[in-house]
Amino acid sequence: MSQGINVIALVKESERYIFLYDDESPAAVMQTFGRFAGDPDLSFSWYDAAVLSQKVRKQRDSGVAGTGGPHIGEQPQQAPRFGESK
C-alpha cells in the first residue's frame, strides 16, 4: 500500500512555510508548528500554529489525509461559486 504525502502551506509577507508530512506523523508536524510559533525570528505566530493544526486534525479525522490532492492526469475540482451548491 503506498503512503501519500500531505502538504500544508502558509504564505506570510515574504515568507513561505511549506510542511510535508505523511499519515503517520501529524503529531510531529503539529509540534513543528509550535516550535516555529515560539521562534521570535519568524513571523509564524501561535495563531498560525492553531489554524494549521486544526487543518491537520480535520484532514486526519475526515480520512482525506495522504490523498495529496489531484493525482497526475486528474483535473482539480472547481469550488462552487457563491450561492451554488456542490
What pLDDT does 61 receive?
86
Please indicate, yes or no, if residue 18 is contained in any of the structural domains. yes
Q: How far is residue 56's CA from residue 84's CA, in Å, rounded to a whole number?
A: 27
Please indicate, yes or no, if residue 74 is contained in any of the structural domains. no
What pLDDT does 84 receive?
55
What pLDDT does 13 receive?
85
pLDDT, tens only, 61-86: 887 655 544 433 444 444 555 555 55
Q: Number of folded domains in the chain?
A: 1
User: Side chain identity at 49, as an amino acid letter?
Assistant: A
pLDDT, tens only, 24-66: 999 999 999 999 999 999 999 999 999 999 999 998 888 765 5
Q: How far is residue 37's CA from residue 51's CA, in Å, rounded to a whole number?
A: 12
Are the beta carbons of 21 and 9 closer than 8 angstroms? Answer: no
Can you give the pTM of this predicted structure? 0.68
Domain that holds residue 12: 5-62
Please indicate, yes or no, if residue 54 is contained in any of the structural domains. yes
